[in-house]
Structure 1
Amino acid sequence: MNRRSLLKGGLLAGLGLPFISPAELLAQAKPYAKKAKNIIMLVSDGMSTGTLNMADIYSNRAFGKGTHWIQLYKDAKVNRALMDTASANSLVTDSAAASSSWGGGMRVKNGSLNVGPKGETPQPILQKFKQGGKKVGCVTTVPVTHATPAGFCVNIDSRDGQDEIAEMYLKLKFDVMLGGGAEHFDDKRKGGSIIPQFLAQGFKVAQNRDEMMNLKNSGPVIGIFAPDGLPYEIDRKNSPELMKKVPSLAEMMNKAISLMKDNPKGFALQVEGGKVDWAAHGNDTGGLIFDQLAFDEAVGQAIEFAEKDGETLVIITTDHGNANPGLFYGDTYKDFDRIQHFKHSNDWILNQLNNASAEKNVTELIEAGTGIGITPAEAKQLLTHFSDIVPGQLYNAANLPFNELARILGKYTLVQWAGMNHTADYVELTMFGPGSESLKPFIKNYELHNFMLNAAEMPADFLAPVVKS
């Protein structure tokens, strides 16, 4: 080995370091700016720690590499904390109160969006950023009128007023809103769709993936891609039709960034993996892991943008735990690997069954959706939960026997669930970029409001009053 090759490879390899060329050094991340010109806050709604764990384990086993989120920890690229998630009236929050804590800088009661226990109406943070000259937006896999995006945007007594929230968005004229919820923009009581009103106000409207991808930076944008929530990622990935029509979370985020990044004063964007929460409520292992991985794809691309940009604070977190799923002890790792053969959500399976279904229908649908061949006894066990349904009628989604199906599939995958609702867990809070160095090891959820404003060096009168607790 000559001296040059020793210096190029041998010495660095001896130190356990890869050779980095001058070009690669120049292409590495820019140093942080002093303030955050841009903020991207990514929220995996309802993500218990077990969800984060299982997605990383799945990714390692299926793809030979872990998730972007966990890799950020391994590479020591980020600052990390625990965050509490309580609301004003409960140790266990709902998504409305959780998002309002970030959006309004105070704790509110469950079900409320930025309306305090005494009727307070703090100005939501995206309104503040918009007032300060930034472009602002939300992207989500659930309705854009749903609790988590709305908590950054509006003041309303009840999260259930989604039709009214849609009308509020028309007046607020935020720059980018992408997600589901078409049914809330079509109020038959008031004469039908309000989308024409958005068009009259200068909005560009997208109703499928191609229309979204073709949007240009010329005015506010609203994209609505489903009547309610977007399809579960596991169903989208296994349907060519859905892949063509419905964008992924990462695609929506990247389009939003492209539409806002050239603004001289920057942008603020909330990105929500909302179907993670819905899958947890439904004890749906395939739905959960695939939507968490879709969220993680957005995490990786947000970090990539921030590394190149040098002026972007990326915040990655969840609003609360949900159902506390986990991989439990078993005789072989191959049990968990069965999830690699899943092609559809439990929602897809159960919505095709009713009380007239035969055991054979059950076993065939479950095998088509998961690759798992359940026993006739297990099929019969599941069918007992359809006994009180009118013949020919599909179960209402809220009453589908998700838990029973999860118990059956858990015997084969070793994934088990603690319940079907939100939990009071302290949650992961991860930051990268300017301002992240100020993150304390433990933070209360409402403290994130002022944290973001301070990181962006917004005017002092924008800050929420400091809460003593």
Structure 2
Amino acid sequence: MKRRSFFKQASLAVAGATMLSPFDLLASEKRRSILANNAGSAKNIIFMVSDGMSIGTLTMADLLLQRKEGRRSKWLSLYDEGKATRALMDTASANALVTDSAAASSAWGGGKRVNNGALNVNPDGSFNKPILQKFKSAGKAVGCVTSVPITHATPAGFCVNIASRGDQSEIAVEYLNLDFDVLLGGGTEFFSADKRKDKADVFGQFSQKGYHVVQNRNDLLQSSTTKPLLGVFHEDGLPYVLDIQFDNRLKAEIPSLSEMTKQAINRLKQNKNGFVLQVEGGSVDWAAHANDASALLHEQIAFDEALSEVISFAEEDGETLVIITTDHGNANPGLFSSNDKFDKIQHFKQTNDKVLNSINRNFSSKQVIDYIESAQGIAIKDEEAKEILKHYNQLDSEGLYNPNNLPFKTFAEIQSNYTGISFGSTNHSSDFVELAMFGPGSEDLKHFVKNTDLHNFMLQTAGLIEKS
């Protein structure tokens, strides 16, 4: 299913102001001299983004791990052990209190707030140079890893200037021209000649440019640490990790976020000048939009496993700043019932996404009940099954939640009776969000920041601009 069409956020129409980045006033040669002669406290930076993570998502993933495995999430254990500096972050865009991922990532990537939907392009049409281009020019290795298309808004916000986040085919070509060192995620349709409208073989172009191009898990795990690396493993986003766990074919083909992250670090750390890597758990956001509790919590845990990989490296390395955050809240989920209900999530074998795509209009209500019980271990009522089936009579129409009109919200509301998990919305929120840092430079984090503040914070910590 083309999930990405379900998750596009419309731009809002409130005008706002942007902030100037002092970095843009510095000449290229001066930047290089600052890097060489006035190095900052961190040689490397790893920027971890659990896209669309509300505080309820972080909380419930931690609770699920405690109850199922007897351990805390890595993120919460950093707080428990006093290893991370913690803050709140204001996530607004230039034209809205509720940001989308493009504007949010551009705030970090370009140092200015842009309108929703834009990637480092100001309301007046001018560009803000993306931060990975700045670090690449200064001699560092750079890369992005994500569980959604590598051309999607969050990685792209660190990399390119594009007026519309929807131009993912163009973003793929832009990546080719940037000579970045690692790009890993989904989105084969933006690289493959047989899927692109212009029939350009972008995979082939990357290969001709010297990239090691991989499209499955095994090839990634055996990839070279000397060549630049492009890995694209699935059309659209990668399948949800819960659905991968119970599908041997997918387990063999699709790498985990932690595996991609480890391979990226192994490649990037070869650079003597250090590296900057963005890692995104992009499917956290997609599951939140769908009010898909089992997908949401397992995607957050997958992000946490990647975080564990990063912290292990950073602890051994001693020269790496790890930034851990989200670009915005989404759906504001929470647990509102008993432990017994919540514990049922432990036994789910399929996400709501897979369940609803497996049901069709020819199912009887009993077949729906039996399928859901087999896939998720909960037995819904006959009237609830019939409510779900109503939506399958309109599958060819433009739906409220996605082009197939699958009843994500309806199913989530029914499901809450059995899991105790409820959602406040299917959209992004204006909430201030969690921001944590680990490693050199983290001591400089203020307790409340704007998203744009992180741009210069990274440059300062790496020594590319002097600290004020």
Give the TM-score of the pair, scaled to structure 1.
Answer: 0.88
Deviations 1:430-462, CA, capped at 9 Å, x for gaps: 0001110000000000010000000000145xx
Shift of 1:375: 1.5
- Which residue is 2:339 aligned to? 333
Partner of 1:226: 234
The answer for the alignment partner of 1:370 in structure 2 is 376
1:449 is matched with 455
Q: Does 1:206 align with 2:206?
A: no
In structure 2, what residue type is equivalent to 1:39? I
Secondary structure of 1:321's match?
coil
Deviation of 1:100 (Å): 0.1
Match of 1:349 in 2: 355
Matched residue of 1:223: which SS?
A: strand
Q: Paired residue for 1:142, among 128, 148, 151?
A: 148
The one-letter code of the counterpart of 2:219 is: E
Per-residue CA deviation, residues 169-205 of structure 1 (Å, 9 max, x unaligned), is 1111110000000011135432343211111111110
Q: What is aligned with 1:311?
A: 319
Amino acid at match of 1:98: A
Distance in 2 between the 1:398 and 1:221 partners?
Answer: 35
1:124-143 equivalent positions in 2, closer than 5 A: 124-143=130-149
Cα deviations by residue, 1:255-296 (Å, 9 ceiling, x for unpaired) = 000011121100000000000000000000000000000000
Residue aligned with 2:145, SS? strand
- The one-letter code of the counterpart of 1:382 is I
- The match for 2:91 is 85
SS state at 2:277 partner: strand
SS of 1:335's equivalent in the other structure is helix
Give the paired residue count: 425
Whether the 8 Å contact between 2:99 and 2:116 is mirrored in structure 1 is yes
Q: 2:391–2:405: 8 Å Cα contact kept in structure 1?
A: no
Residue of structure 1 in register with 2:42 after alignment = 36
1:217 alignment partner, SS class: coil
CA deviation string 1:128-174 (max 9, x = no partner): 01001000000000000000000000000000000000000111111
Mapping 1:48-447, distance limit 5 Å: 48-186=54-192, 188-328=196-336, 330=337, 332-389=338-395, 399-447=405-453
Q: Distance in 1 between matches of 2:45 and 2:258?
A: 16
CA 1:397–1:369: 2 relative to 1, 3 Å = farther
1:119 aligned counterpart, secondary structure: coil
Alpha-carbon distance, 1:378 to partner: 1.1
Whether the 8 Å contact between 1:316 and 1:430 is mirrored in structure 2 is yes
User: Do the aligned residues in 2 keep the contact of 1:312 with 1:434 (CA within 8 Å)?
Assistant: yes
8 Å Cα contact 1:99/1:148 also seen in 2: yes
Secondary structure at the aligned position of 2:213 is classed as strand
For 2:358, what is the secondary structure of its paired residue?
coil
Read off the aligned partner of 2:138 and give its amino acid letter: G
Q: CA deviation at 1:352?
A: 1.4
Partner of 1:10 in structure 2? Answer: none
Q: CA deviation at 1:231?
A: 0.5
| Cα distance between partner residues in 1 of 2:462 and 2:395 | 55
Once residues 58 and 111 of structure 1 are traced to their aligned partners in structure 2, the CA distance between those partners, rounded to angstroms, is 34
Equivalent residue of 1:40, what SS?
strand
Structure 2 unaligned residues grouped into runs of 5+: 1-38
Structure 1 residue 396, shift from structure 2 partner: 5.7
Paired residues of 2:44 and 2:274 also in contact (CA < 8 A)? yes
State the alpha-carbon separation in 2 of the partners of residues 205 and 458 from structure 1: 31
* Aligned-partner SS, 1:399: coil
Most deviating of 180-189 and 274-283? 180-189
Amino acid at match of 2:439: G
CA contact (8 A) 1:351 1:397 kept: no
RMSD: 1.6
CA distance in 1, matches of 2:57, 2:463: 34
User: 1:204/1:342 Cα in 2 relative to 1: closer, same or farther (>3 Å)?
Assistant: same
User: C-alpha displacement at 1:34, in angstroms?
Assistant: 6.0
Gaps of 5+ in 1: 1-32
SS at match of 1:179: strand
- Matches of 1:260 and 1:248 in 2, distance apart? 18
Contact 1:281 1:322 in 2 (8 A): yes
Q: Cα distance 1:34–1:125, how it changes in 2: closer, same or farther (>3 A)?
A: closer
Between the two proteins, what is the percent identity of the paired residues?
A: 55
Cα deviation per residue 1:417-439 (whole Å; 9 max; x = unaligned)? 00100000000000001110000
Report the secondary structure of 1:418's partner residue: coil
Cα separation, 1, equivalents of 2:451 and 2:82: 23
**Partners in 2 of 1:192 and 1:268 — Cα distance?**
30
Q: Which residue identity does 2:208 align to in structure 1?
A: A
Q: How far did 1:397 drift?
A: 5.3
C-alpha distance after superposition, 1:302-324 (max 9, x if no partner): 11111110000000000000000
Q: Secondary structure at the match of 1:292?
A: helix
User: In structure 2, what is the Cα distance between the partners aligned to 1:139 and 1:279?
Assistant: 18
